[in-house]
Structure 1
Amino acid sequence: MKKGWVSWWIANGIWIALFAIGTFIVWTREVDGAGVTQTPELKLVAFIVLLIAFIIPLTIQIIWMIINLKKDRPS
């Protein structure tokens, strides 16, 4: 496996772990940083904000994957 793919898989693992940890924190906390009690609706809003924040790294990872695929294709 080439260095580009190894780096891509490591980066994906880090992003997946960060997203999982963030999701766990959002869904298990009772009170947020401002002292507001979290209802299921507020937890959903916080999760959607987290999801939107992870769209940028997802886009970068997809572009990186396309570049890796084009490099591996025989000319």
Structure 2
Amino acid sequence: MKLWWLTSFLWLIFFSIVALIIGFRKVDGSGLEQTSELRIVAFIILGVIFIFVLLCQLVFLYFALKRKSNSTYGR
């Protein structure tokens, strides 16, 4: 469980930093000036990746809790 909390915290920090970078940058990696539309698209892509990672984390948590409860009852 400690590993799950640590990875969740690291993912949260990672997504927060990337969101701040997207929000404050003036020029993206290809050299284009960041417009509101490009910034929104970047946030949508980041959101989709965040949802995917969140679902993976929740599936891992489900199996970790299931395993922990099975070992508690002596199965």
1:14-25 alignment to 2 at 5 Å? 14-25=10-21
Q: Identify the residue that residue 34 of structure 1 maps to in structure 2.
A: 30
Q: Identify the residue that residue 46 of structure 1 maps to in structure 2.
A: 42
The percentage of counterpart residues that share the same residue type is 37
Q: Identify the residue that residue 72 of structure 1 maps to in structure 2.
A: 68
Displacement of 1:28 after TM fit?
0.3
Matched residues, number: 71
- CA-based RMSD of the aligned residues comes to 1.4
Displacement of 1:52 after TM fit?
1.5
Kindly report structure 1 stretches of 4+ aligned residues shifted beyond 6 Å: none
Displacement of 1:55 after TM fit?
2.7
Higher Cα radius of gyration: 2
Q: Give the TM-score normalised by the residue count of structure 2.
A: 0.82
Q: Which amino acid aligns with 2:23?
A: W
Q: For structure 1, which runs of at least 5 residues remain unmatched after alignment?
A: none
Q: Give the TM-score normalised by the residue count of structure 1.
A: 0.82
